[in-house]
Structure 1
Amino acid sequence: MRSGSDAGSSGHPARAASEETLGKMCEQVLEHMHEFISLGELVVAVCYGEPSLRKVSLAIDARNSLYSTNNLQQLLELSYEPPRPPSGGGVRPVGGSKIIRKFVFETAQKVFSAELADFSEDYELDNKQLANMDYISTIAATALHRKIELKCPELYATFEDEDEDAPITFGPKPPIEPHPHFDIVFQVTSMAYRLHPHRNVLQKVLTIYAHAKHTGKAVLDPLQQAGITMSYSWVRKQIGDLSNTIGKETIPAAHTKPIVLVHDNLKLKQAVVSQRGNNQTVSDNGTASTVLILPDNARVFEDPDNFVPLRRALKAKRIAGTAPELCY
């Protein structure tokens, strides 16, 4: 019978015996295998490297013992970060950490690139769509967020996990609560824009918005380099092209169709703020000239002989509450 000191020195006898038995069995297998093939060659051949072994029952059972259990995960973890050497000392073995790290990086790059390519296929904005409010509503931050979750699940999960693991910030609480996912939308759309410059939905919308807020070239161009907006020259060209296009369409319409010219003051729902240096201006009013192209049945307004009688008749109907409804 062992004394207490003997039992204490052995630790866990059953566990030690089990590890010793496993070690002995591995030594025997390695000794016999050494005469025929290396461990690396065997693993690669069994794990689909040798086509003739794909349907061999022994090879299938061997693969299942690796893939259907946590053995593969243990193998990767131990190879990436081997345990410290026993008390005898020595440097911790490097193992396959460099190879695994390289493989993980290359695999993640392929997965993210494929997801961004799939997302980019439906991430393009034609200039004419900038005036289509129904379409603009479909590319709001919430809509883009849903699309990114669907098209880029792995990339989105990576950013989301990184955001959740971020350290708690100290100091005063920001005056505006940060959006829960708009930063991720920004990052993914900027990456898609960098890979495919013609995929620029959010960039175009933000550039138009920034220009409407009197954002200058010195601000827009750095944002364009960061993949957040288009360049200042782009927005100036778009406005010039839009003005020229409208002018070309308006001139022949003025010669061939009934029109109404409107020049009126505007009261904006939200004030526009602009600042240059220390000078800041805030304005909620302005003026606008508009050309309204009317249908052909509005030509009655162009007859000077009938205009006054027609206006009086319409005014009388309006007073009586029987004026016709506007149809355009």
Structure 2
Amino acid sequence: MSDNLMVDKDLMFFVEHFPFGKEINQKSFLVTGATGLLGSIFIKCLLKMKELKKVELSIVGIARNAEKVKAIFGDAPVIWIYQDMCDALSSIEVPVDYIIHCASPTSSQFYVEYPVETINTAFLGTNSLLSYACTHKVESFVYLSSLESYGVVVDEIEIKEENSGYINPLDVRSGYSLGKKMVECLCHSYAKEYGVPVKIARLTQTFGAGVSLEDTRVFAQFAKSIIKGEDLIMHTSGESSKPYCYTIDAIMAIFYLLLKGKNGEAYNVANPNTYTSIRGMAEMLSQAFNSQSKVIVKLKSNMGYAPITKLRLNVDKLKQLGWEPYFSLEEMFDRLIEYYKEK
């Protein structure tokens, strides 16, 4: 299932630290966005629990590309549904206990070029799943939202779940952030009106072993530049700041929300100790990994980048459920870089 030592190392870490083996035994999971970063790692974590801890599980994955599924999962024991999330939900062969909704575009360029598709994927896909959860009485549902639902915040304040910044509805890129915000409202509404047990994971930018070499987000570009000894090129001023989260920490958080979270509520998911600006990230990488890689600013417009914002997420609400992050920003990059070196 995995041909990468760092991915295997992450999966072993997950199995060794996972606290909910008994709770998920003999349960069935539906995972959307199954070939994306978090969807694929989530499924691999479940499969590793089946293999090493003998936990009885059924896994249904929703994806669009059969070739990509084969490349990522091989012949792993997963029931596959191939469809676009904008289409009506296909019939599912097994009863579903838990839904993890990961499907979402992640590229700023995509948001700008395909704003209608970005909005439709968010709203239509989630509405279909919430309707299914309502009629089939699933036990729990986690929707993966984003810190971008907060919009623009420029003060260096701790942001709790009830806070909000400004989002310009007439900016074409806002389809992503407003789509997330609308779907959070939809999830809350299904919980209040129909009793759907849905929780919202408001994730910061998350990365780790498993990120595609073709990923164009800044952390991936920086990691590849460090490996090659190339300069770390910033196309913005690098002032925007936020915390980050490692993939395995995020997967753990999803399980805490799934099994212990409060229905209809949102939870910030981030490691607050990783809070930094893009420039600060670049400087840390140069100092810690490759001093040959200098930090260079080459401003470029029309790339679909988010406006300057400072999102210091407070994660006390999630920590009250028992969750704690394991990986520092330097450790996150160390594992991502080692993963890329194997590719």
TM-score under structure 2 normalisation?
0.23
User: RCO (CA 8 Å, sep 6+): is it higher in 1 or 2?
Assistant: 2
Q: Please state which structure has a larger fraction of its residues in strand.
A: 2
